[in-house]
């Protein structure tokens, strides 16, 4: 009787390889469910999401298929599960600096942000975060975007700049959301009021895998450190940084960001890596040698306890 009880206990265990929130989800892999007399169990695997863009020269390339790609994980080819492309809606966190230093350019910033929101497809979803000494988040809860547009029109420039906290809030908001995810961030200066560090943002970005499109403008660009920081944030997941000396060109920068996001893909695959809490390299090859892939370079697996590596 004791042996029978122990046997039932063993076969009822579900082995869970928990996924990192950084672009990874804990999801049941196809073909992993098994059934038999008196019991049923499933093995779950890590689904890794790799956000990427493909260019020919400087021009984005669309209409690619999953067969056009090969992915190497720590140098070993792995089968791909699916490719999310332009028909999959976007999920965007739009972060807009409304600190006191943008006072003179506020109308131009509002105009460019509104134009960006209105350029999105009806199926796309977003969250607006207006940040200064505080962070005000306005999520899109339906197809209606008027609450977000109203918040942009009513923004007032005051206080300091919680840039790092806003970026972390944006990543947290996107976690678990469906669609092709991205962060779009406008700022005219470095962080002056946040409780988080630049390194915390870089670490969170490496784990999330979400591309960051950073737009730097105004007087803050006189500090080379701001450009360096925004480039770091953008390059970690193959996003892009834009630097605008003339704020009258801000609309153009937002338009370029929208074009980049619309051409983005997400490669999905089930990793064979055990939950070891370590960094693992990713390399994506494409069959057409005239094309260039821009993607994250790897991911952090969780450890056996389901906790991200420190």
The whole-model pTM stands at 0.83
DSSP 164-213: HHHHHHHHHHHTT--SEEEEEEEESS--SS-SS-HHHHHHHHHHH---EE
Instruction: Return the CATH superfamily for domain 90-262.
Output: von Willebrand factor, type A domain (3.40.50.410)
Among all chains, which residue has been given the structure tokens 């609450």? Answer: 147
Reported as a single tens digit per residue, the pLDDT across 101-124 is 999 999 999 999 999 999 999 999
Cβ pair 49, 209 in contact under 8 A: yes
| Mean pLDDT for the chain overall | 85
SS3 content of the chain, % helix, strand, coil (to 5): 30, 35, 35
Q: How far apart are CA 8 and CA 290, in angstroms?
A: 57
pLDDT confidence of residue 305: 60
Q: Where are the domains of the chain?
A: 16-77+269-300, 90-262
Tokens of 137: 């988040």
In this prediction, residues 221-248 reach a mean pLDDT of 88
Cβ pair 296, 51 in contact under 8 A: yes
Cβ pair 259, 251 in contact under 8 A: no
Cβ pair 262, 53 in contact under 8 A: no
pLDDT confidence of residue 137: 98
């Amino acid at each position: 009787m004791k042996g029978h009880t122990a046997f039932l206990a063993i076969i009822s265990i579900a082995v869970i390889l928990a996924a990192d929130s950084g672009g990874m989800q804990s999801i049941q892999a196809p073909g992993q469910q098994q059934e038999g007399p008196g019991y049923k169990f499933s093995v779950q695997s890590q689904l890794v999401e790799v956000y990427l863009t493909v260019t020919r020269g400087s021009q984005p390339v669309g209409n690619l298929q999953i067969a056009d790609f090969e992915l190497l994980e720590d140098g070993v080819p792995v089968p791909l599960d699916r490719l999310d492309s332009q028909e999959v809606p976007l999920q965007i966190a739009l972060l807009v600096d409304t600190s006191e230093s943008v006072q003179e350019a506020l109308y131009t910033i509002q105009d460019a942000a509104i134009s960006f929101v209105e350029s999105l497809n009806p199926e796309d979803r977003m969250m607006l975060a207006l940040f200064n000494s505080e962070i005000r988040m306005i999520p899109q809860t339906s197809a209606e975007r008027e609450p977000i547009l109203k918040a942009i029109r009513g923004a007032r420039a005051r206080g300091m700049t919680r840039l790092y906290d806003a970026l972390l809030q944006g990543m947290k908001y996107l976690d678990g959301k469906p669609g092709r995810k991205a962060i779009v961030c406008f700022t005219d200066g470095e962080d002056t009021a946040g409780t988080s560090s630049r390194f915390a943002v870089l670490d969170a970005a490496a784990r999330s895998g979400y591309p960051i499109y950073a737009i730097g403008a105004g007087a803050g660009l006189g500090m080379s450190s701001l450009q360096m920081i925004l480039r770091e944030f953008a390059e970690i997941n193959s996003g892009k940084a834009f630097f605008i000396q003339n704020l009258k060109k801000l609309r153009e920068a937002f338009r370029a960001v929208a074009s980049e996001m619309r051409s983005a893909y997400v490669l999905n695959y089930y990793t064979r890596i055990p939950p070891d809490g370590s960094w693992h390299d990713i390399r994506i090859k494409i069959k057409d040698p005239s094309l260039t892939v821009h993607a994250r370079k790897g991911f952090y697996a969780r450890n056996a306890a389901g906790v991200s590596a420190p």
